[in-house]
Structure 1
């Protein structure tokens, strides 16, 4: 029973950070004036929502329930998305991208911590690995955009 409680706790933590990522990307998409970045942010927002929905199914299978349906900055782990809200006030794409990088790195750390115990998450290990890869790919794309903008702005 103890291990099932840990699975529920881990899944809730991942769902929370995915919901925060979705909200962060939504906020970023309404702030940037770049059509290209708006599309990118909306794509990753939808991806995070789908990731969270997939994990909720596993959470329910383990007898858990997600209280965090819309994200938020309630947990210490995902307070990094506050940086995005601060960056949004500046309306600078480089600052927005940098803040998103911070949030994505926090998400990767959370996934890595959960994946450190693969036996505990055997029934959804492949899903977690696939989602982690998706976040890593998003982070790489965000970093590339930021570097490109930094080069353009000298």
Structure 2
């Protein structure tokens, strides 16, 4: 049976994987967007997720575990491949890129919500997760706003 400590570390590693996926996804989005505004925004979000990764690694260390996850999760890899294919087929369609980013952000929020249900989180780790979740929610709102602009 899994202990609470193991569950906490597993949740943190899952979030680390998601942040890596987000970092790589936004990097891909920046490379494939033809709008300077979106390239800059996606680059900023990629850098943000790299910062989140560092915070999560620190949190995993605080739980006396090794944060040995650099490649992202299998679902993230699939999402990036899907995003690459969709972008290629849509001729750098900014709306399609924004749609893919929204999908990723919604999945990230769900994972953070699940991780925040862990009653055994250290208070400082919980604070990191709450702040990161708020940042992701802000990104989602911003991207949804941009999606409406680019859909017109």
Give the TM-score, by structure 2 length.
0.90
* Runs of at least 5 residues in structure 2 that lack an aligned partner in the other structure: none
| Other-structure match for 1:63 | 64
Deviation at 1:96, TM superposition (A): 0.4
| Other-structure match for 1:42 | 43
- The 8 Å contact of residues 23 and 70 in structure 1, kept in 2 or not, is answered as no
Higher relative contact order (CA 8 A, sep 6+): 2
| Other-structure match for 1:122 | 122
Find the aligned partners of 1:78 and 1:108 in 2 and give their Cα distance.
Answer: 18
Moved more, 62-71 or 89-98: 62-71
Find the aligned partners of 1:38 and 1:22 in 2 and give their Cα distance.
Answer: 13
Deviation at 1:3, TM superposition (A): 1.3
Q: Is 1:75 paired with 2:74?
A: yes
Moved more, 78-87 or 138-147: 78-87
| Other-structure match for 1:110 | 111
Paired positions, count? 148
Residues 82-135 of structure 1: CA distance to partner in whole angstroms, max 9, x if unpaired? 432223212100000000100000000000001122x21133111101100000
Find the aligned partners of 1:83 and 1:21 in 2 and give their Cα distance.
Answer: 14
Q: For residues 30 and 78 of structure 1, do their structure 2 counterparts lie closer, same or farther at Cα, with a shift above 3 Å needed?
A: closer
Deviation at 1:78, TM superposition (A): 6.9
The runs of at least 4 consecutive aligned structure 1 residues that moved more than 4 Å come to none
| Other-structure match for 1:13 | 14
